[in-house]
């Protein structure tokens, strides 16, 4: 990545240096052609940066006319283009806009000011503001393109998971489903790529109570009180609690402005995937065991996803939305009790620890 930045920036400066030596000559011919040479140099850089932008789009597997709003991506192209390359192109665009263009503009002003041999109807040969806007727009598109590729790949995995089993005949959950492992593996891949290219460390925050202890959705008094009720009353109470909580949480800002940082990109991919997961759940009908499997998987993801993102509140909200969607689509929505939930999750964690020790 750093080599690419140096090549672009230093290459422009070296070329300007050669042109500077050319026009510094005192021959009569060069004096007469000086204005024309200055126009050629400025126009050449304008053309170079425009064509370089087009080349970046070709490398990304997209034409220069693709839209940021478009989420439709050709999966054949996705397979051919390394996603890390798309991320590199986004970061290169930022570097060119913020570093290379200002430096080139400064050198042009120092040694290549004047000109005017071109007809006035064509306007100035080099317009740095136009080039900066071009690369700012392209950088945003590449970043969005990367997120589209990753979210659609993970969405295909989720779609396969939720469209394959017959949820109305699902058996009682005995462990966290294997699709959770695949999902976490994909997220790890995103984190690995993003940390190679984008700035910013992934911070981890925990929401604590006044005593400093970490809060848990399974250990509050309301939840424990619910466990003492009958299954039917507990289910109704939980649904009412979730519905009331949703009314307050709807004001939560889930999707923030996309930025060129590790936190922003990872957060956006993760949130979009969880929204897709919610939609896939809404398309199914569950028996009690199927609903309990979703409950178990989401509860395990809640703790596992904390290492990927610092926006714990938003992730908890989206996971709760998935669980609520399964509840609404369940014929007999009786949740797993907390002790059983903890036992299954701890068994999964122990299995992961054992596998890590044997690697």
Q: For residue range 78-116, list pLDDT tens digits in order.
A: 557 889 999 999 999 999 999 999 999 998 888 777 655
What pLDDT shows up at residue 21? 66
Look at 178-192, 258-272, 302-316 and tell me which has the smallest mean pLDDT.
302-316
Q: From 108, 123, 148, give the residue that closes a domain.
A: 148
**CB-side exposure of 109: number of CA atoms within 13 Å?**
8
Q: From 148, 177, 199, give the residue that closes a domain.
A: 148
More confident residue, 208 or 257: 257
258 lies in some domain: yes
What number of H helices and E strands is found in the chain?
A: 13, 0
Indicate whether 315 pLDDT > 50.
yes
Residues 118 and 214 in one domain: no
CA angle 43, 48, 51 (to 5 degrees): 125
Structure confidence by residue, pLDDT tens digits, 327-344: 999 999 999 999 999 999
Could you tell me the pTM of the whole model? Answer: 0.75
What pLDDT shows up at residue 71? 43
Residue 110 contacts residue 102 (beta carbons within 8 Å): no
Share of the chain above pLDDT 70, in %: 72
Q: How far is CA 244 from CA 220, 240, 241, 294, 324, in A?
A: 17, 6, 5, 21, 12
Domain limits at 89? 2-148
Query: What value does the mean pLDDT take over residues 154-167?
Result: 87
Look at 75-84, 166-175, 294-303 and tell me which has the smallest mean pLDDT.
75-84
179 lies in some domain: yes
What pLDDT shows up at residue 290? 95
156 lies in some domain: no
Residues 173 and 122 in one domain: no
| CB neighbour class for 178 (10 Å; exposed up to 12, middle 13-18, buried from 19) | exposed
What pLDDT shows up at residue 30? 58
More confident residue, 187 or 357: 187
Residue 262, SS3 per DSSP: helix
Residues 228 and 172 in one domain: yes
132 lies in some domain: yes
Residues 207 and 343 in one domain: yes
225 lies in some domain: yes
Residues 116 and 178 in one domain: no
124 lies in some domain: yes
Rounded Cα distance between 205 and 141, Å, is 30
Residues 140 and 239 in one domain: no
* Beta-bridge partners for 355: none
Which residues have C-beta within 8 Å of that of residue 83, sequence separation ≥ 6?
A: 146, 149, 150, 193
Residues 131 and 176 in one domain: no
Which residues have C-beta within 8 Å of that of residue 82, sequence separation ≥ 6?
A: none
Indicate whether 59 pLDDT > 60.
yes
154 lies in some domain: no
More confident residue, 310 or 245: 310
Residues 230 and 345 in one domain: yes
Residues 54 and 124 in one domain: yes
Rounded to the nearest 10 degrees, the angle between the axes of helix 262-282 and helix 128-163 is 40
Rounded Cα distance between 195 and 68, Å, is 23
Residue 62 contacts residue 145 (beta carbons within 8 Å): yes
Question: How many domains, the chain?
Answer: 2
Rounded Cα distance between 308 and 55, Å, is 33
Structure tokens at 185: 């593996």
Residues 124 and 169 in one domain: no
Residues 174 and 201 in one domain: yes
Mean pLDDT of the chain, nearest integer: 79
Q: From 86, 120, 148, give the residue that closes a domain.
A: 148
208 lies in some domain: yes
| CB neighbour class for 294 (10 Å; exposed up to 12, middle 13-18, buried from 19) | buried
Residues 343 and 234 in one domain: yes
């Amino acid at each position: 990545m750093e080599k690419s930045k140096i090549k672009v920036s230093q290459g422009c400066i070296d070329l300007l240096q050669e042109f500077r030596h050319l026009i510094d000559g005192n021959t009569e011919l060069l004096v007469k052609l000086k204005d024309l040479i200055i126009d050629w140099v400025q126009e050449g850089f304008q053309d170079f940066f425009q064509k370089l932008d087009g080349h970046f789009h070709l490398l990304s597997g997209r034409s220069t006319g693709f839209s940021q709003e478009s989420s439709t991506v050709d999966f054949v192209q996705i397979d051919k283009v390394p996603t890390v390359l798309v991320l590199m192109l986004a970061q290169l665009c930022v570097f060119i806009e913020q570093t290379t263009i200002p430096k080139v503009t400064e050198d042009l002003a120092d040694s290549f000011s004047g000109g005017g041999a071109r007809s006035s109807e064509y306007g100035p040969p080099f317009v740095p503001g136009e080039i900066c806007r071009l690369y700012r727009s392209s950088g945003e598109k590449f970043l969005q393109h990367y997120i589209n590729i990753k979210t659609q790949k993970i969405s295909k995995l989720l779609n396969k998971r939720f469209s394959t089993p017959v949820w109305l005949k699902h058996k009682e959950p005995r462990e966290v489903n294997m699709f959770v492992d695949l999902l976490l593996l994909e997220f790890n891949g995103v984190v690995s790529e993003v940390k190679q290219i984008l700035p910013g460390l992934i911070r981890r925050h925990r929401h604590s109570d006044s005593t400093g202890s970490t809060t848990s959705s399974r250990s509050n008094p309301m939840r424990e009180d619910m466990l003492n009720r009958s299954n039917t009353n507990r289910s109704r109470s939980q649904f009412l609690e979730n519905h009331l909580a949703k009314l307050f949480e709807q004001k939560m800002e889930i999707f923030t402005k996309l930025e060129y940082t590790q936190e922003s990109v990872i957060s956006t991919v993760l949130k979009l995937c969880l929204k897709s997961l919610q939609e896939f759940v809404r398309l199914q009908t569950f028996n009690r065991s199927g609903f309990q499997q979703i409950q178990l998987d989401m509860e395990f993801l809640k703790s596992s996803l904390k290492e990927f993102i610092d926006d714990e509140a938003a992730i908890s909200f989206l996971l709760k939305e998935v669980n609520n969607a399964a509840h609404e689509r369940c014929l007999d929505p009786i949740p797993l009790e907390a002790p059983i939930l903890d036992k299954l999750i701890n068994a999964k964690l122990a299995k992961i620890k054992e596998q890590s020790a044997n690697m």
